[in-house]
Chains A and B, each alone.
Chain A
Amino acid sequence: MMTCEEVRLSLGAHAFGALEPDEAVLVEAHLAECVACAAEFDELSAVSGLLGRVGHVSESDVAQVVSPPVVVLDRLLKVSAARRRRSRLLLALAASVVLLAGGGAAWGVLSGSGGEDASIAAEQYAASSPAPVVSGDGPASGAAEDSAVLGKESAKPETGPGAEGAEEPSVTAQVPAASSPPQTARDGGDVRVLESASPRESVMKAAPDVVMSGVEGKVTATVRAAARATGADLTVTVSGADLGAVYRLDVVGADGTREKAGTLEVASAADAVFRATTTMPLTTVVRFELQGDGDVVIRIPVKSR
């Protein structure tokens, strides 16, 4: 006769029908007489029964659960680190250049090289109306008001919620706490800009979006550029890139000047779309460059118009 203790330890194997026939008979005889062991067997049978019900869990499935690909974790951490780098870059940028849009108008806030020279350029345009011609010189040694003059004869938008602002520019741009408070330069109807970047001729004409592409290996990159008062808004689409790949977007001017417009991290299995801005006028841009790991460079030439 089997004791309860002996039977208990055999119940697991019995629930799978793994006992030798002679022992199985002995166990069944005990279960018929012992309520406690029978209850225990019912519990264990329910567990083995559940395994049978979700029958398509296989041995290899279990192995996969035990050891998911660690490469995924590595890439996730890499994306997270890239995002952190980018966040720091954006924070650094926010301290000197802030572009704010609202009510159909946009204000470019450009701080000068010295805190005292900071001024606001309140240049208004409706997103879809012809943009005004902007010309600016580099920073002069004199007063901020003299350093650059913005022509705004044609700045009045034809339509749009920003129309009344053209008559009476209301400078309501919010200044993030991170940046030093800029002074507002307003002189009658004139709006002035202090260009803090390297001295260069900056001319912007009204132009439709420009779309151009570049291919390198299996990766295709497309840049859609929309001219803005101080440069251009860029929408970059990257297809075929490896997940986790990080690219640096450079804007290259005709005179060889190079501006870093942003860092892109490919975090999507589908086409990855990024937005960036450049302060370089679109008319002076000869190409965009996406620089990846190693020596990978995707060149995206701008066709002459």
Chain B
Amino acid sequence: MSPAGTADEQLIKALFDDHAGPLYGYVLRLTGDTGRAEDVVQETLLRAWRHPDALAGKPIRAWLFTVARNLVFDQHRARRSRPQETGDEALAVMPADDELERAVESWAVAEAIAALRPEHREVLVHVYYQGRSVRETSDALGIPAGTVKSRTYYALRALKLALEERGLAP
């Protein structure tokens, strides 16, 4: 295997690991179709891989979300032929708007929650998403109430750090 190929594969894996999760979640919301969401995520990451210059100096997450969103809406329009290697600039041109900004932020939060240790994520799901009390969570998970409380505390502290890492200071 050539060193270039290895570098390409590493870059693709890094792009996937860093962004595929939130990007897929976002696109799935837009399309409501897992197959199409996979296609759009694939092409978006492909464009990022092929055109690192297009990304230079731009927040990569906002760029990816913009390209993905435009790909989704592009597919709604009549199919038309265009060279695959062009159009990236046009795709990435999108005035910053609140909706996109909120989407990027929301998925960064989802990502921060996803980055928590499983036992921390688990108590958050119960206490926050399902609105359960400490006692209810304790019963549901079969762990002592004190453990639920300490895990919730450490989950929030870890989440604060994870959010700050993503530029989302609470």
Query: In the complex, which residues of chain A have a beta carbon less than 8 angstroms from the beta carbon of B163?
Result: 47, 50
Prevailing SS type, chain B contact patch: helix
Q: Interface residues, chain B, CB within 8 Å of chain A?
A: 2, 4-5, 8-9, 12-13, 16, 20-25, 28-29, 34, 38-43, 45-46, 49, 71, 74-75, 79-84, 102, 105-107, 109-111, 113-114, 121, 125, 127-130, 132-135, 137, 146, 148-150, 152-157, 159-160, 163, 168, 170
Question: Assuming the A-B contacts A43-B160, A47-B159, A69-B24, are A62 and B132 also in contact, with contact meaning beta carbons closer than 8 angstroms in the complex?
Answer: no
Assess whether B83 is in contact with A273, with CB atoms less than 8 Å apart: yes
Given A20-B135, A72-B38, A46 and B2 touching (CB < 8 A)? Answer: no
Cα–Cα distance between A274 and B4 once the two chains are bound (Å): 23
From residue 5 to 29 of chain A, which have CB atoms closer than 8 A to chain B? Answer: 8-13, 15-16, 18-20
Residue pair A54, B106 in contact (C-beta under 8 Å): yes
**Closest CB pairs A-B (n = 7):** A12-B153, A12-B152, A65-B21, A68-B20, A46-B170, A65-B114, A64-B25
Of the candidates B24, B74, B75, the one whose C-beta lies within 8 Å of that of A72 is: B24
Q: In the assembled complex, which residues on chain A have CB atoms less than 8 Å from the CB atom of B12?
A: 73, 76-77, 80
Dominant SS among interface residues on chain A: helix
**A81 interfacial by beta-carbon distance below 8 Å:** yes
User: Does A267 count as interface, using CB distance less than 8 angstroms?
Assistant: yes
Would you call A15 and B156 a contact (CB within 8 A)?
A: yes
Query: How far is it, in angstroms, between the C-alpha of A15 and the C-alpha of B154 when the chains are bound?
Result: 12
Nearest opposing residue in chain A for B108, CB measure: A54
Cβ–Cβ contact A68 & B128, under 8 A: no
Closest chain B residue to A52 by CB distance?
B128
Q: A50-B170, A243-B43, A244-B42 are in contact. Are A84 and B20 (CB under 8 A)?
A: no
Which residues of B sit under 8 angstroms from A46, Cβ to Cβ? Answer: 160, 170
B20 contacts which of A51, A73, A81 (Cβ < 8 Å)? A73
| Closest residue of B by beta carbon distance from A15 | B156
Of A11, A49, A76, which is in contact with the most chain B CB atoms at under 10 Å from its CB?
A76
Cβ contacts under 8 Å, B83 to chain A: 273
Give 17 A-B contacts (CB < 8 Å), ordered by A residue.
A13-B149, A13-B152, A18-B127, A18-B132, A18-B133, A19-B149, A20-B134, A57-B106, A68-B20, A72-B20, A77-B13, A79-B46, A80-B49, A269-B74, A270-B84, A271-B79, A271-B82
Select A65's contact among B13, B84, B110, beta carbons within 8 Å: B110
Contact between B4 and A84, CB atoms less than 8 A apart: yes
Counting chain B CB atoms within 10 Å of each CB, which of A12, A19, A81, A239 scores highest?
A: A12
Q: Which of B22, B82, B84, B129 neighbours the largest number of chain A CB atoms within 10 Å of its CB?
A: B84
In this complex, how many residues of chain A approach chain B with their Cβ under 8 Å: the count is 55
- Contact indicator B137/A18 (Cβ below 8 Å): yes
Inter-subunit contact A44/B105 (CB<8 Å): no
Say yes or no: A9-B84 contact (C-beta < 8 A), given A48-B156, A69-B24, A268-B43. no
CA distance A48 to B155 in the complex (A): 11
Q: Which residue of B lies closest to A273 (CB)?
A: B83
B80 contacts across to A, CB distance below 8 A: 270-271
Chain A hits for B105, CB < 8 A: 54
A10 contacts which of B125, B135, B149 (Cβ < 8 Å)? B149
**Judging by beta carbons under 8 Å apart, are A239 and B79 in contact?**
yes
Whether a CB of chain B sits under 8 angstroms from the CB of A56 is: yes
With A9-B149, A61-B107, A273-B81 in contact, is A69–B38 under 8 Å at CB?
A: yes
B75 touches A84 (CB 8 A): no
Query: In the assembly, what is the distance between CA of A10 and CA of B134, in Å?
Result: 10
| Cα-based distance from A270 to B85 in the complex (angstroms) | 12
